[in-house]
Chain A
Amino acid sequence: MTARQERLARLLMPWLTLGVLLLAWELACILFDVPEIIAPRPSRVFEVAVQRWDLLLRFCLETLWTTLIGFALAIGFGLLLGLAIGASPFVYAGLYPLLIAFNAIPKVAIVPILMIWVGIGALPAVITAFVISFVPIVVNVATGLATIEPEMRDLLRSLGASNWEILTKVGIPRAMPYLFASLKVAATLAFVGSVLSETVGGNRGIGFLMLSASARNDSATTFAGLFAIAIMGVGVYAVCALIERRMTRWAFRGELVR
């Protein structure tokens, strides 16, 4: 295989895998005569998605916006908190255990509380997307800061650099690859958060659409919603990965991550 063919093959691989999986699913449904209400055939899901694309798109966009706002808040807050935790042993000692405890709480449990506080609508979904996705960002950014080579710190200290200068000249650039690595995890988590909130109680978004479709035993639409979330998740992930490659090219000199 030439290099060009190899690249082409690598690009085609995920589509091929997807195609094979869907085909197996389709055949299994026909072979075992699975009722549509239990598991609709992928072709049915596709058919419904095409029929109701305007409806799906509207609900998808609602979810996408709430997710992105929650995700953006998580990036800002996670970055600041991560820097504080990584830079100061006191902040670390004080906040880290609480952060772990908070992360252990199933977020589905806080949605009803949020609804009491802020009502239904977009806001609880934004908040849920935020709280579910900021922890990995904090942990990663703090790790990036904490693992600065001691020699690099010594070098700057011997030049008379202030702690602030050490943070801006070494700490933050050093933490960037860690930040972007966490964004790829956090982006997909943010979708989990917003859809969770929409499903537990809401009147908008793809989660709400799926819930009401399944209440009508319309499982094809429910599955179409699932696929839509997956596609949006991959899309946001791809954007994060692209920005990562542009911003921290130096960290990928081994070309390990694509």
Chain B
Amino acid sequence: MPPAASPLVELKNVSLAYGEGRDATLALGDATMSIAQGEFVAVVGPSGCGKSTLMKLVTGLIAPTSGEVRVRDARVTGPIRGVGMAFQNSTLMPWRTTRDNVMLPLEVVEPHKRRLRTDRAFYFDKAQKLLASVGLGEFGDKYPWQLSGGMQQRANVCRALIHEPQILMLDEPFGALDAFTREELWGILQQLWLERRFTAVLVTHDLREAVFLADTVYVMSRRPGRIVKIRTVDLPRPRRLETTFTPAFVDIVHELRERIQLEHA
């Protein structure tokens, strides 16, 4: 998908150092990115290259040391609105049922927060439908710790999407899962994206995952992370598991692998 005229998210020469003075370590160096509305972006790179840092910068959880982050043409100075986040660790709250966990953003984000009490049935139904769409329809009343790891991650993605955010941030959301479950969840996530067309930023170290899901893959260098390659993935959608065995797919994965290999040399 070609970038639109005015990108939704823009990073201009952003760098970030943790610590101060002599102890400062540069986590991210001079990153420039431009993410269009509705684009699915993946960021890959060796571990510790500042991928997660990049995500926190875009959502405004941390402020850059230099450079500028802009979302919807406004400079980001604090946590931005309309974001959904999912981490590798599912961070579901063990004291809430799965459905109550999924409904958590509705209790915080306006305008849902205001309407939640009066339109309880509507939102309940909405959560139920979302859970059903990822195959968790019967598990809303179960507690997260009664679910398997894959089911927890599905609920985690539901929670990130329930308030219909414009931007979805995924930090290695399937990293802790087995290969079969992971591939199954790629399909579910792609389906959700095709239906809703949110803008997604996926941080991962799984190249096949990146190529399967993304329109554009950014490759980062070793710490301090810099963007060393941008690769557009123009494979037709919806991509299926069989797609991952086609030469076109494998070629892109190889190309990315070779670039990352350079970092380890």
CB distance from A255 to the nearest CB of B (A): 12
A149 within 8 A of B: yes
Chain A residues positioned under 8 Å from B108 (CB to CB): 156, 159-161, 165, 169
CB distance from B51 to the nearest CB of A (A): 15
CB pair A159 B83 closer than 8 Å: yes
CB pair B89 A250 closer than 8 Å: no
Q: Mark A62-96, 1 if CB is under 8 A from B, else 0.
A: 00000000000000000000000000000000000
CB pair A169 B94 closer than 8 Å: no
CB pair A253 B83 closer than 8 Å: no
CB distance from A158 to the nearest CB of B (A): 5
CB pair A152 B145 closer than 8 Å: no
CB<8 Å pairs between A and B, sample of 22: A149-B89, A149-B91, A152-B91, A154-B56, A154-B85, A154-B87, A157-B79, A158-B59, A158-B79, A158-B80, A158-B85, A158-B169, A159-B108, A159-B109, A160-B81, A169-B104, A169-B107, A170-B93, A173-B93, A248-B95, A251-B94, A253-B145
Interface residues of B in 11-68 (CB under 8 A from A): 56, 59-61
A33 within 8 A of B: no
CB distance from B198 to the nearest CB of A (A): 14
B105 within 8 A of A: yes
Chain A residues positioned under 8 Å from B123 (CB to CB): none
Interface residues of B in 78-127 (CB under 8 A from A): 79-81, 83, 85, 87, 89, 91, 93-95, 104-105, 107-109
Give Cα distance in the complex from A70 to B169, angstroms. 49
Q: Which of B83, B95, B107, B145 contacts A158 (CB 8 A)?
A: B83
Q: Is the interface of B mostly helix, strand, loop or mixed?
A: loop
Q: What is the total number of residues of chain A having a CB less than 8 Å from a CB of chain B?
A: 20
Give Cα distance in the complex from A165 to B113, angstroms. 12
From known contacts A159-B108, A160-B109, A165-B108, infer whether A151 and B61 are also in contact, taking CB-CB under 8 Å.
Answer: no
CB pair B61 A157 closer than 8 Å: yes
Chain B residues positioned under 8 Å from A250 (CB to CB): 94-95, 143, 145
A13 within 8 A of B: no
Other A-B contacts than A160-B81, A160-B108, 14 sampled, CB-CB below 8 A, are A151-B91, A154-B85, A154-B87, A156-B108, A157-B61, A157-B79, A158-B59, A160-B79, A165-B108, A169-B107, A170-B93, A173-B93, A173-B95, A253-B94
Give Cα distance in the complex from A251 to B93, angstroms. 11
- Most interface-central of A160, A165, A248 (chain B CB within 10 A): A160
Q: Which of B85, B94, B143, B145 contacts A155 (CB 8 A)?
A: B85
